[in-house]
Structure formats: structure tokens, C-alpha cells
Amino acid sequence: MSEYCMYIDGEWCAAGSGQTYDAINPALGEPFGKMPKGDRDDARRAIGAANAASLSWRKTPLWERSAMCMRIAEILDSRREELADILCTELGKPRHQEAKFEANEASVPWRIAAEQAKYFEGHTKPCQDPQKRVLTFWQPRGVVAVITPWNFPAAICGEYLPFAIVMGNTVCWTPAPTAAATAIKIMQCIHEAGLPKGVINLVIGPGQEVGDELVINSGTHAVGMTGSPQTARIITARAGLKPRLFELGGNGPVIILADAEPLKIAASVASACFFAAGQVCSSAERIFVADEIAEPFVAAMVAETEKWKGGDPWNKSTTMGPQNNMAVVEKVGRHIEDAVAKGATILVGGNRLNRPGFFWQPTVLTNFTADALVNREESFGPVAPIRSFRREEEVWEHINACPLGLVSSVFTQDVDKAWRWAEQLDTGITVVNDWTHFWEHHLPFGGMSRNDSGLGRIGGRHTLEFMSNLKTIVFNIGSPTSF
């Protein structure tokens, strides 16, 4: 049983109270370590350290801050194998597929932030008053509270941390308690790079205490969070007028039109359903296929589903890991039971795996209804609900029953239809003829203002903008104004 520490003001430390909790391996359902259980006092210590470091860090030249992000990226690359190991242990990610993939991706946003910040220009603005000269530029917000989830703990922190510090902010970071060991491994890399003390502080503990304190405390000046719409609503109620950047849940509809090639696309759609055991906000959680090709597509999906194998994440033959915790296991079961009670049919899967840990079988459902939970909520599990349609109105009836709108996908060979669907779908991203998981770290990613999938955009310059205040300076080159 390893014992872990949090990181405040450049020092590794226990919780002030001395309390700990068990870190659970979800592939076994057994503890692998002891985590510090921080509280409000620990959060306040971190906030104090971040504010103490703020002035000197914001005065550090941008090129030096950029170079620091590059050093962190290099160290992350040098410790890829360690990162993959902890992702496999703490999250149950298959070591030779998913864990390695995420470990390889961990350094990418640090490099993007380092490069894009150097070319993140302000502007000069013309004025009606001929005696004025106006320019705008970007300044740091101050101390940013960052709250990250458990599903991609090595990757998602990179969507916030490097963009915050390269713009001159300091950070108080709290990860999901079930992904804290990975956060510690990332923090070790940051410490090794020589980041000045207090610039990033890692506080581990329950969201109701640590996260809440970071949100409400007047010593933090902006909040970035990836998580659920429910948590976002709580933060919104608690944060006052602080700027907020939220990347929230999805229930991505996939629309497959009659001219698509069902056998060709089934593997892509199945991957969008079962990658990371369906625990991705961009997962394909609702699949609508035209009647004309429904039969061969469903048959192909069943065949593809049977290729996904849950089991020991260290085994090379394992392609799917467990759910993160029992609450997710129970939610998936509740969604499947509800769908069946409302008329859906299970074609494959539908049960937990008969082994230790928090595993669900990859599952294919057909004929789910608009009021089914799989249609109205994010399942966050390895479930592929499929419904055939004859008229487009049937699809819209189902899509509009869900308040989420993060990512969608359309499969068709007709360019006119592709554009029409892409423009009408109320999602932040629509991918044409590929899986819903496509994204690169410089691209904007987030939900639409009419749904519950987020606020603002992460990705490249969009995150840099959130991490900055836009400052306007007016020079008067004539006589001072008077009435």
C-alpha cells in the first residue's frame, strides 16, 4: 500500500488533519494506496501559496514561462511508462492500448500552450477621437481554480494547467479523488521541471470541501472545470461573478443516413461507444440509422461489439477496462434496465462481467424510446443504443428529448445532407464520416449555449483567452479633454 502526498507551496505534504482514504483499483475493487484527505484548511493553504507566488510569476517573461511548459512536456515524455502504469493501476485502463495512448498524449497540450502563447497577439484599435491611440493586450487573471475529472486524468489537466501558467496565472488544482495518484504523477513531473513554488498547488480531497473552498474563496479569481452539469450548477451558484470555463457531459447522437456504408463504419461507431468503457464525454451514446441499412449495420455492430474484451488491464488481449466506481456501475445498470422496461431489446451484453472489479459487458440495445434514460441522460458506460428511422422527424424527437449537446457525428456520402445535418445539430462539434472522439488540443471544444454541455471553449487560443483579462490602454496625444 503506497502512501501519497499532496503538493502545496513547492512541498509534498500530508493533509493538515492527517486523514487519509483508500485509493481503489477498479479492475480489482481493492485498495492500492492511501491518499491524503484534504479539507478547507488545506485548500486555503494552497490559495495562500498561489497568491504569494502570483506577482513574481506574472512578472516572469512570457518566453521563460513558455520554456517552462516545454520543460514539463519533455519530462512528461520521459516518464510515459510510469504514467501508463499508474493509469492502468488507478483507472484500470488497458495498459497496452488506452493507458499508453493517454500517457503519450499528456505532453501535447503543454507544447501547444507554450507555442501559441508566444503568438497570442493583442490589437490596436482606431478611434473616432483623432487625439487617441488605443491598444489591447492580455494580462493574467490571477489565481485560477482548476477541477479535473477521473476519466482522463493525465490528459484533461493539460487542457487547463499549461494555458493558465503560460499566461502568468498561478493555480490551485484539485483532481477527482479517484484519479489523485495520476495527478500526483503529473505533479512530480512539474516539480522536477523546477516550476517556482506556489505556481501550481495540488490539493486532494472531497469536492464538497476542497473544491467548494477553491470556488468560493476570494483568493481565487477564475474557475476551470471538466465534469458534470450538476457540479457546474453548484459551482455557478457558489462562485459569484468569477469567470468560469466548463466542459461538461455529452450524449452524442450519431446519425447514419441511407447512403452510408454500414459494414465500413460499424467499427468506427463501436469504437466511439466502447473506447474507455464508454466513459468519455464525446462517446457515441445514441445511434440513429436509416431503415434501409439498419439490418446490416446492426449485425455489423454486434460483430464488432464481440471483439471488445474486458478483463485484466495488464493483459495485452484486454481491450476494455472497468467503470471507475460503483456509482457508475449502478448508473449503467439502471439505464439498461430502464431501456428494456420501455421496450428496448438487448442484442449482446447487458450484464456485469463475472470477475472482480467494476466491469460491464459491452452492450448493444435496439429500439430505445425517446423517454428512455439512455436517450435523455449520459450513460457513461459501454452501451450502444441503436434506433432505426424512416423519417428525420423521428430522429429529432429523440435528439430534442436530451438537454446535452457536446459532440455529434453524421455518416453520409451526400455533401448537401452532411452540411444540413451538421449545421442543424445543436452540438459544439459535428464530425462528418468519422467517430465522435475526434479532437486535437488546438481546436475549440465545448457545448452550445442552449444546452447543458458546457460554458466557453477549451482548446488552444480559446483556453488562453479564458485564462486572461483583456486590458485596454488609451493614449492621449493631444490636450486633455474638458467640457
Instruction: Please say if 330 is a catalytic residue.
Output: no
Rounded-to-integer distance, Cα 319 and Cα 284, Å: 17
Instruction: Please say if 88 is a catalytic residue.
Output: no
Check 247, 285, 304, 377 and give the catalytic one.
Answer: 247
Check 281, 285, 377, 378 and give the catalytic one.
Answer: 281
**Active-site residue set:** 247, 281
